[in-house]
Amino acid sequence: MNISTMKLPEAHKNGENLRPSCCSILWDSEADHIVTASSADNSICIHDAVSPSNPPKILDNHREGVTVLALSPDSTCLASGSLDHSVKLYEFPGGDFKTNIITLKLPVCALAFNNKGWVLAAAGDDEGIKLVNTFTGRISRILKGHEGSITSMAFGPKNDYFASLDSTGTFIYWDLVFGCTLYVLKAIAPNYGSDVSLTNILAWSPDGNMLAVPGLKNDVVMYDGVTAERLFSLRGDHLRPICFLSWSPDGKYLATSGLDKQILIWDVDMKQIIGKQEFIECISCMAWKPHGKALAVIDVMGKYGVWESAVQSPMKSSSEDVPGLYVRNGFLLFDEEEESGNLNEDSFGESVPPCRKRLRQRHKNEDEWKKENDDELEYILKFKSFEKSYHGRKDNVANGKSGSRNVISNVVPKVQEAFQPGATPAKAGQRSFLCYNMLGSITTMEHDGYSRIEIDFHDTSRGPRVPAINDYFGFTMASLSENGCAFANPCRGEKNMSTLMYQPFSTWDNNSEWSMQFEGEEVRVVALGDSWVAAVTSINLLRIFTHGGLQRYILSLEGPVVTAAGFKDELAVVMHISPSLPSDDPMFEYRVFNIPNGTRPLRGRLPLTPGSCLKWFGFSDEGQLSSFDSKGVLRVYTNLYGGSWLPLFSASKLNKSEENYWVVGLNTRKLFCVVCKSPESFPQCTPKPILTLLDLSFPLASSGLGADCLENEFMMYKMHLSQIKKSIQEMGALGHDTTSLEDETFNLETSLDTCILRLIASCCNGNKLVRATELVKLLSLEKSVRDAITLVTALKLPNLAERFGNILQEKLHNEAIGNTVLPDIKSNCEDSIRTNNSASSKFFTAPKIGKTSDNIISSPLKHQTASFHLVDKEIK
């Protein structure tokens, strides 16, 4: 569904929730038709450019979004490439489907006709560019050499050369006669990595003497058409890299569209900017009118229009025969309705004239224009949310009308791919992490057809020294534990099956590493534990091996795996359980398996912040399940309320928008992460990234008490206390010694009481007396209650002091009863207590508390009472 919108200067910039897609636009050679397509839509529209009120022809032969269009030079044959991997040919302008000329293994990103029209080059994420004879459909040649996915290619107008550009910025000149590379220029264009929504583009000048390629400095670099020498660059007002460029048919002008949402028109001979236009959205594709000075543009949201005066009138127009329709200065906009259900002549016919009327009104009345513009924006917003609701429905294509619209977004994948926690994306020529955890790291770098894997432990004194491994499999997944490391590679063709390899670090048998081959399935995720190796495969099998390579269990999982992590005996797996929610949020479920016991202690839905995906998943140092999502929220599983996830960290609360956090691990108090400067979201391998400690904190509402950190501390202590009590229970049930844990409990209780006393103080200062009373009830030690009474007395709140006194009485009374009822607990406690037991233990469940807590509690308290006196004086 393409909706026309005003693309005007000072348009509202809405940077959030963009779901841009790769759109294409073309003119035919007679300028009678405009062809548009979007990677978010499976249909191609042929619009009548002469009389835009006619409904467009819809070609919906593709099953998924159309990424690229190409028209043969004589305008008789239209080619389209799609995410469904196929390239189709159509009659033009009739639009009759001719043939499926070629089907690639991966989505098609680029198409190009040679200037005779009988060779079609097709490429994309596949390896190699395929040159197809359009008559016979035979592949005449495969040009191999690119490492990234090919995003743009073009036949030189003189037909001797062929140029292609990939997403990593590598640019190759090919000799078509011999089918070999002539020049390879690496990293000359922006490297977009795997982000396929941004395409590198190249374009031959119409005379074939020059080739324009986006440069690294937001500029356009011209290369000589024969020698590939850099000639000059056009550098100007683009603030961000250029995502599309197009030569005017006479070769005098060049239009460039940048990610900064503006189009610049250059006079190439003068190397000057002669036109500039800003848009609401980034312009994804442009096409010059074959005989004229108009520029057809389409933005990433699929809205298109014609910029009539792209070349200003003082400049010589490309051609003189400008149809009378296009004399108006400004934009001529078309409404485009592609939604199959809405498509009928009436609605379309009606929708266009008001739009034009509005256009004129805008020229007349500035105020009205603003109002209209606001309306328009609202409309766009609505449209966005509408589109969003379709987002991610790849799985239920058969879902009626909506199913026909497979919205393919290139920013957030519809279904989150399986990932390995602590891995970074592979980059050609650079080392990348296969695994980075609290223990160490596994890095890999491809070099001459094989990779070299290095395993480093952070703690060099403890971890074993592992020699670097030459990896001929091309491992893309790895997991590291103290005992060994596991590697796996995906399936690459029939000969290169998916392999799982395990290498133990220290065994008595030198030859104890093993590997497993998987036929017909491929490993998606590997995880390691104390005595087991787990691999989850593409056919949703969870395979568990022992260290020695014995196949122990094979379990079937309910959905495709997202990630997995191991800790000691426990394996946690996250998987998809159902298609995404209409709001585009994925539905994940986690399972925890206890491998030696053969039990599954936990399962449930994995919570995620709306609009985010899972970034990291693993266990804390203490073995608590934790997850980190792309919105920067860390969640930790606790036993509270029968098992809940607590949000314990939020990157947005730190107010450091220029930093991204790449989580490595956590313990009870701190989050260990690598801080990356935006826009990088993951660290580089060299220099070895260092870990930064961040405090865990609850996302508290602002209470206006001015003691946010105290409130946070209070909740933290409460949580730790409940965890420790739980583990004491578990240990006690197993008959283990719980002395050290009880000591810890005691320490925690004292710190908690200190925290509560401070909170009481700030509550009293803030006149929240009821809250203060509630807090007193939470004090665990009798001494602390007495301190609280002293505190409120010092604060001149006798009323409160009296209440506190009553609470203390009650507490003592209850404890006296408790002591008689549960003498064994008391004695148990006393056992654990150090020798300085005093006789004052009568009132206490834990007698040593009074002793040690004195110095802990009283120090901050003294400080506070002093400051309160000061406050009192000031009031007087």
Partner 1 sequence: MAGVSGPHASAFSAAEMEFLAEDEMIEIVPNMRMEPLNFISGDFGPFRPQIPTEVPLWLAVSLRKRGKCTIRTPEWMSVEKLTQVLEAERDSEKFQPLPFHYVEISRLLFDHAREDIPDVYMVRSLIEDIKDVRFHKIGTGLEIISKERTYALRLKNLSAMEANIVRPFVTKALETFHKLSSSEMIQETDHISNRQPQATNRGPRRQLKDR
What residues line the site for partner 1 (CB under 8 A)?
A: 457-462, 672, 687-688, 690-693
- We find the least distance from the C-beta atom of residue 446 to partner 1, in angstroms, to be 24
Judged by beta carbon, residue 316 or residue 688, the one nearer partner 1 is: 688
Copy the structure tokens of residue 364: 């007349």
Judged by beta carbon, residue 396 or residue 460, the one nearer partner 1 is: 460
Judged by beta carbon, residue 665 or residue 850, the one nearer partner 1 is: 665
- We find the least distance from the C-beta atom of residue 460 to partner 1, in angstroms, to be 4
- We find the least distance from the C-beta atom of residue 688 to partner 1, in angstroms, to be 8
- We find the least distance from the C-beta atom of residue 749 to partner 1, in angstroms, to be 24
- Position of tokens 């739009």? 355
Judged by beta carbon, residue 342 or residue 740, the one nearer partner 1 is: 740
- We find the least distance from the C-beta atom of residue 128 to partner 1, in angstroms, to be 39
- We find the least distance from the C-beta atom of residue 461 to partner 1, in angstroms, to be 4
Give whole-number Cα distances, 685 to 454, 455, 767, in Å.
11, 12, 54
DSSP-derived letter for residue 492 is B
Judged by beta carbon, residue 330 or residue 463, the one nearer partner 1 is: 463
- We find the least distance from the C-beta atom of residue 752 to partner 1, in angstroms, to be 23
Which amino acid, one-letter code, is at 71?
L
Judged by beta carbon, residue 56 or residue 683, the one nearer partner 1 is: 683
Spatial separation of the C-alpha atoms in residues 511 and 523, rounded to whole Å: 24
- We find the least distance from the C-beta atom of residue 264 to partner 1, in angstroms, to be 32
Q: How many Cα atoms are found within 13 Å in the side-chain-facing hemisphere of 645? A: 20
Judged by beta carbon, residue 459 or residue 874, the one nearer partner 1 is: 459
Copy the structure tokens of residue 4: 């026309």
- Position of tokens 């959030």? 16
Per the CB < 8 A criterion, the answer to whether 376 and 5 are in contact is yes
- We find the least distance from the C-beta atom of residue 145 to partner 1, in angstroms, to be 33
- We find the least distance from the C-beta atom of residue 413 to partner 1, in angstroms, to be 31
Judged by beta carbon, residue 473 or residue 672, the one nearer partner 1 is: 672
Nearest Cα residue to 181 out of 153, 214, 146: 146
- We find the least distance from the C-beta atom of residue 468 to partner 1, in angstroms, to be 18
DSSP-derived letter for residue 569 is T
- The alpha carbon torsion through 436, 437, 439, 445 (nearest 10 deg) reads -10
Range 445-454 contact pairs with CB under 8 angstroms and sequence separation of 24 or more: 446/474, 450/474, 451/475, 453/478, 453/487
Spatial separation of the C-alpha atoms in residues 727 and 736, rounded to whole Å: 11
- Position of tokens 């971890």? 463
Instruction: Determine what percent of the chain falls in helix, strand and coil, rounding each to the nearest 5.
Output: 25, 35, 45
Q: Sort strands 587-594 and 570-578 into parallel, antiparallel or unpaired.
A: antiparallel
Tell me whether residue 732 is exposed, middle or buried, using C-beta atoms within 10 angstroms of its C-beta: 0 to 12, 13 to 18, 19 or more. Answer: middle
- We find the least distance from the C-beta atom of residue 481 to partner 1, in angstroms, to be 15
Tell me whether residue 509 is exposed, middle or buried, using C-beta atoms within 10 angstroms of its C-beta: 0 to 12, 13 to 18, 19 or more. Answer: exposed
- We find the least distance from the C-beta atom of residue 722 to partner 1, in angstroms, to be 26
- We find the least distance from the C-beta atom of residue 547 to partner 1, in angstroms, to be 24
Judged by beta carbon, residue 438 or residue 523, the one nearer partner 1 is: 438
Give whole-number Cα distances, 53 to 290, 348, 673, 872, in Å.
21, 7, 57, 80
Tell me whether residue 80 is exposed, middle or buried, using C-beta atoms within 10 angstroms of its C-beta: 0 to 12, 13 to 18, 19 or more. Answer: buried
Q: How many Cα atoms are found within 13 Å in the side-chain-facing hemisphere of 93? A: 18
Judged by beta carbon, residue 462 or residue 495, the one nearer partner 1 is: 462
Q: Strands of 692-695's sheet, edge to edge?
A: 659-666, 670-677, 692-695
Q: Sort strands 432-436 and 440-447 into parallel, antiparallel or unpaired.
A: antiparallel
Judged by beta carbon, residue 462 or residue 873, the one nearer partner 1 is: 462
Judged by beta carbon, residue 324 or residue 687, the one nearer partner 1 is: 687
Judged by beta carbon, residue 688 or residue 862, the one nearer partner 1 is: 688
Spatial separation of the C-alpha atoms in residues 154 and 648, rounded to whole Å: 52
DSSP-derived letter for residue 702 is P
- We find the least distance from the C-beta atom of residue 458 to partner 1, in angstroms, to be 3
Q: Sort strands 514-518 and 119-124 into parallel, antiparallel or unpaired.
A: unpaired
Copy the structure tokens of residue 104: 């690639």
Judged by beta carbon, residue 605 or residue 688, the one nearer partner 1 is: 688
- We find the least distance from the C-beta atom of residue 483 to partner 1, in angstroms, to be 18
Judged by beta carbon, residue 454 or residue 521, the one nearer partner 1 is: 454
Spatial separation of the C-alpha atoms in residues 444 and 450, rounded to whole Å: 10
Spatial separation of the C-alpha atoms in residues 629 and 608, rounded to whole Å: 7
Report the Cα 306 to chain-centroid distance in Å. Answer: 34
Q: Residue 249: is the preceding peptide bond cis (ω within 30°)?
A: no
Judged by beta carbon, residue 458 or residue 552, the one nearer partner 1 is: 458
- Position of tokens 């005996």? 569
Spatial separation of the C-alpha atoms in residues 14 and 279, rounded to whole Å: 11
